[in-house]
Amino acid sequence: MGQRAPRRRGATRAALLAATMTASLAVGCTAHHGGSVDDGRGHGPSQSPTQSPSAGGTVAPAAGPLLAVKIDNVPAARPQTGLDSADIVYAEQVEGGLSRLMAVFATKFPKSVGPVRSARVSDLELLRQFDDPTLAFSGAQHKLLPLIAKAPLRSASPDEVSSAYYRGVDKSAPHNLYLHPNKLLPSAPGAAALTTGFHYGAAPTGGKPTASRSVRYPAARFTFTWSGSKHRWLVTEDGTPTVLTNGKRVAPATVVVQYVKIRKSKYHDVLGNNTPYTETVGTGKADVLRDGRTYTVDWKRQKATDGTQFTTADGQPMNFAKGQVWVVFAKS
């Protein structure tokens, strides 16, 4: 395995990553990238959100790119590590009706995160809303690799930054690949890197009292149960409470069930199962869960470089609660 820095479209290797390329670990890489090619598409806009998800106040411009990590989410991969530090967790349907997560880190980095797994084609559209993000993933099928190389992001697979990854001893491969975020980026960039269009603040009037909400994929199930004492939604997956390796229960402040088109892509896994494509550009409905209530809202993302706007029936931005947000993509 070579010691290559994450590839950045249309740019030389990032100096902030060069210092991490000092060791090579045998991490069982799944794929190798070719050279990066500029296809003429611009990066996402360098937006600065007006509110911090953690503090609710104004924030300074982002100090650098945020980190997105593809997280294994089959039962054999649990308990996971580092999810509680993510600002946003996206849940998507993958082959065989299973689920996979993308954890987005901007305000703080955990010591380690994982298990890390492979990227999917719809991840590229989802990530266009961020300015030059770093994507950590275990690899991808060979037909997808040229698209990743062309995408406006910093590719950081084990083949490219081997020293940032390690194999844990608590699980068997392929469910034991972990990442040290501080070996990819020197520090978390801050809330301004979260160019998602999300708004944070007081809840609107109305909403339906909600004790629990479930979202089902063909072979996976998420349940979010409101805890008044914690003022958070407790996550349960496939009937089992979601608890991390540090013993903490995963408990976001806001859960978004976003109804989207999920169609077949031209890609398949090694077993021949089709890879679903989750369309995150467009318009539709969503249910926002916060403060023990459900708010039915509209969502709009006009183009890939935009964040997603969530609005109430009167056209006002839907405020999220301060803290972690889970976005679960459900078939419309």
CA angle 261, 74, 291 (to 5 degrees): 65
pLDDT tens, position by position, 121-176: 899 999 999 999 999 999 888 888 888 999 999 999 999 999 999 999 989 999 99
Q: Is 252 helix (H, G, I), strand (E, B) or coil?
A: coil
Q: What confidence score (pLDDT) does residue 8 get?
A: 53
Q: How far is CA 9 from CA 132, 152, 184, 295, in A?
A: 9, 6, 17, 39
Q: How many CB atoms lie within 10 A of CB 330?
A: 21
Of 202, 208, 247, 235, give the one whose Cα is nearest residue 326: 235
Residue type, 24: S
d(CA 327, CA 332): 14
**Pure H helices in the chain:** 15-18, 121-127, 145-150
d(CA 5, CA 156): 7
d(CA 219, CA 158): 29
Which residues of the chain fall below pLDDT 70?
1-63, 271
Q: What confidence score (pLDDT) does residue 215 get?
A: 97
CB of 149 within 8 A of CB of 7? yes
Of 238, 113, 235, give the one whose Cα is nearest residue 181: 113
Q: What confidence score (pLDDT) does residue 125 get?
A: 95
CA angle 241, 247, 250 (to 5 degrees): 45
